[in-house]
Structure 1
Amino acid sequence: MEVGNIEAYEQRALSELASWKKKVDKKSGLFERASKKVQIKVNSYIPAKVHKVISESIRGMVEAVLSGSKYMSKEKNVMLLSLQQKEEWVKETISTYRRTAIIEGVGTGAAGLLVGLSDFPLLLSIKMKLLFEISRLYGFDPDEYEERLFILHVFQMAFSSEEKKMDTLRVIQNWNTGNHPEINWHDFQQEYRDYIDVVKMLQLVPGLGAAVGAYANHHLLEQLGETAINCYRIRLLN
């Protein structure tokens, strides 16, 4: 690949990164604020059993990530690849995992309440495996504790409130300085639950489950992929 093409791609990546940061920093409008109020109200009606499944799934996922188990993937040699080549591979990987999540969402959404609840831990596993793959494709080693901690911050960046997104973005922007704060478990699981509860609850409604499951999982994987790409761009292009 020619040097000029490499530089042009990195300039485009920097421009896309700047646009993404502006989107993250954008204050929510009236509709979004109203939706948040509705979400808080709806959360109060969600059965305790559902909240328990979500919380236990998230706790198990966090513990698995920090211990370095379960999500390890086959190592790929990307050391000699340009950023463009890495990101072509990353985007293909995101597409593959997104298709898997859609199929899983349709299946569990169509099967009713009890099976529908199983979507939460299954989808979490798909998301984390994707992030481990992306980490390796960008040339980082998730065998290292700091990289697994970074993965959790990326996850939190994707699925949290505006205020928490800005706090997490500052952490990510300062990551290369060696400042690697631990994850607050309570905040982490609460932010994720609040973020996905309304749309995922619709997945448990008879007649809506399959369609909502497909849409929700597509959207959540798309958002996670975009967030991961830009978080790793911050580290590589700073």
Structure 2
Amino acid sequence: MTIAPLEAEADLKAELNIIEKWEQSQKDLFFWEKLGRLPFAILDRMTPKFIQDKIGTALDEIGSYIQNGGRYLVSKEQLYRRFFPQYDMDETACMERIAQLPLNRMDEMADGIMQSSSNAATVQGATTGIGGLFTLAIDIPLLLGLSLKALQEIAISYGYDPTHKSERIFIVKCLQFSSSVIVGKKAILEDLAAFHSGERSGQVISQLQGWREVMVTYRDNFGWKKLFQMIPIAGMLFGAFLNRSTLQDVTEAGKMMYRKRRIMEKLKHYNPSST
């Protein structure tokens, strides 16, 4: 049984237009964003092998996230109780109920997650910035893990279950989008658009040719931002600021992409034949 959305069709279309304008703004990047890979190409030659091995191991763990969720899956029950203090229903019913909430309630929850994850990233960046180059090696996988956790919580906020493999792939695509250059953003937006149609979601899975390629791109494309964090002690300030801005970019992308999907789902009530 389809339940009518709580928002008027015109209001939903207005919100969708805001998101589409945001997508367009993401394509207008400074030219130096394209230089993002260069610092890490140099850093790879300078970094001791044991640090490179640690980064590689962390990336392997991220790969397992797509396959089975691994240790990066969140506790959905905690989020359910934030929506429904008297939480006493099964997971399926709870997720369906979240999907029926008004959009502004979903936004409120997502905004809270964005703020808390940015605060956590700030503390983490300051902590790992103390040791410069050597602590930078552990900062990157920690930041990836924090980003995945925040994106999963945002997914739940809009009524999508991150334990499903297709959702984990969507989350990794959001992660990739937040750090891609202009050409990559255009391609990823096309991939993400496929999730608006269940018939096409399988194509996106096949288009994701390898999680390692995605994660290495994510690491490399914000590499230039991490150069200053390589300075011991002073790296605390740079690490705090840059990790915070990174999480803000990641969670903004996640919120916009999941918000768009939910709006499209709500609009189907007014035009059931749309895809």
Which interval holds the TM-score relative to the shorter structure? 0.7 to 0.9
1:114 is the counterpart of 2:134: yes
Residue in 1 that maps onto 2:209:
184
**1:38-53, aligned counterparts within 5 Å?**
39-46=36-43, 47-49=46-48, 52-53=53-54
Contact 1:97 1:221 survives alignment (8 Å): yes
SS at match of 1:45: helix
In the superposition, relative to structure 1, how do residues 199 and 57 fare at CA in structure 2: closer, same or farther (>3 Å)? same
**1:85-234, aligned counterparts within 5 Å?**
85-177=105-197, 178-180=200-202, 181-182=204-205, 183-185=208-210, 186-234=212-260
Partners of 1:41 and 1:158 lie apart in 2 by 18
Partners of 2:74 and 2:32 lie apart in 1 by 41
Partners of 1:113 and 1:41 lie apart in 2 by 16
**Equivalent residue letter for 2:163:** D
| TM-fit CA distance, 1:98 | 0.8
| TM-fit CA distance, 1:114 | 2.3
Moved more, 95-104 or 182-191: 182-191
Partners of 2:170 and 2:41 lie apart in 1 by 32
**Equivalent residue letter for 1:126:** L
Structure number, greater radius of gyration: 2
SS at match of 1:70: helix
In the superposition, relative to structure 1, how do residues 68 and 112 fare at CA in structure 2: closer, same or farther (>3 Å)? same
> Over aligned residues, Cα RMSD in angstroms?
2.5
Structure ranking higher on relative contact order (CA contacts 8 Å, 6+ apart)? 2
For normalisation by structure 1, the TM-score amounts to 0.86
For structure 2, the 5+ residue unaligned runs are 81-93, 265-275
| TM-fit CA distance, 1:149 | 1.3
Partners of 2:121 and 2:101 lie apart in 1 by 28
**Equivalent residue letter for 1:45:** I
Partners of 1:120 and 1:34 lie apart in 2 by 21
Moved more, 136-145 or 57-66: 57-66
Residue in 2 that maps onto 1:20:
22
SS at match of 1:158: helix
| TM-fit CA distance, 1:48 | 4.3
Q: How many residues align?
A: 231
Partners of 1:72 and 1:65 lie apart in 2 by 10
Q: Deviations over 1:90-141 (max 9, x none)?
A: 1101101110110010111023332332111111111111111111111011
**Equivalent residue letter for 1:225:** T
Q: Deviations over 1:9-53 (max 9, x none)?
A: 635532320221211233x4xxx324534x444333212446554
For normalisation by structure 2, the TM-score amounts to 0.75
In the superposition, relative to structure 1, how do residues 14 and 145 fare at CA in structure 2: closer, same or farther (>3 Å)? same
Contact 2:55 2:138 survives alignment (8 Å): no
1:62 is the counterpart of 2:63: yes
**Equivalent residue letter for 2:209:** N
